[in-house]
Amino acid sequence: MIVLDSSAFFSMDGLPEEDHVCPPGVIRELEKYEDPRLNLWGDMVHVMDCSKASLAEVSEAARKTGDLGRLSPVDLTVLALALDVGGTIWSDDYSIQNVAAAMDIGYRAVGMAGIKKKAKWHYRCVGCGKWYNEKLPDCPICGSEMRSYRHRSR
């Protein structure tokens, strides 16, 4: 089974000959951008909600990789749905791919090169230089913006 992210729809010219599912949020994103492929493929894509348990598991994995602040709520549901149905995610979103790799969920890039290896992200304040393991809207110490950095293995 293939679990489609919005980026897969935007990158594909046609649907593969397999069963396709996506969460409702992907359909809403396609409607928002008035993507014409939705009119062609809408009946061939099954829309399903993910379980709360899978969503919690994905959120925890994304927190551990440092991707939680990089993923939208729809991205999280794509990952959780893949976990629920045992499907392979088709997405060009690197953070989706990174969390999928960390959770041993299959993924495939569609229109771009996929990730080469798993990453762990850390965040640094551009003002005071303090490091954080999770993305914050701004530094709780000085209020400056945060930048993401790939964790380097030692």
CATH number at residue 54: 3.40.50.1010
Same-domain check for residues 104 and 143:
no
Terminal alpha carbon distance of the chain: 38
State how many domains the chain has.
2
Q: Per the domain annotation, does 115 fall within a domain?
A: no
Q: What range does the domain containing 127 cover? A: 121-150
User: pTM higher than 0.75 for the full model?
Assistant: yes
Which pLDDT belongs to residue 154? Answer: 34
pLDDT digits (tens, 9 = 90+) for 86-145: 999 999 998 999 999 999 999 999 877 777 777 677 778 888 988 887 778 888 888 888
pLDDT digits (tens, 9 = 90+) for 9-52: 887 777 778 888 999 999 998 888 887 777 777 677 899 999 99
Same-domain check for residues 29 and 82:
yes
Same-domain check for residues 129 and 91:
no
Same-domain check for residues 132 and 104:
no
Which pLDDT belongs to residue 88? Answer: 95
Same-domain check for residues 125 and 49:
no
**Position 77 confidence tier, pLDDT thresholds 50, 70, 90:** very high
Phi, psi of 83, rounded to the nearest 5 degrees = -65, -40
**Position 153 confidence tier, pLDDT thresholds 50, 70, 90:** very low
CATH number at residue 131: 2.20.28.10
Q: Answer for the pair 120, 151: CB distance below 8 angstroms, yes or no.
A: yes
Phi, psi of 22, rounded to the nearest 5 degrees = -155, 155
Closest CA to 10 of 99, 95, 90: 90
Q: Per the domain annotation, does 113 fall within a domain?
A: no
The identity of residue 65, as a single letter, is T
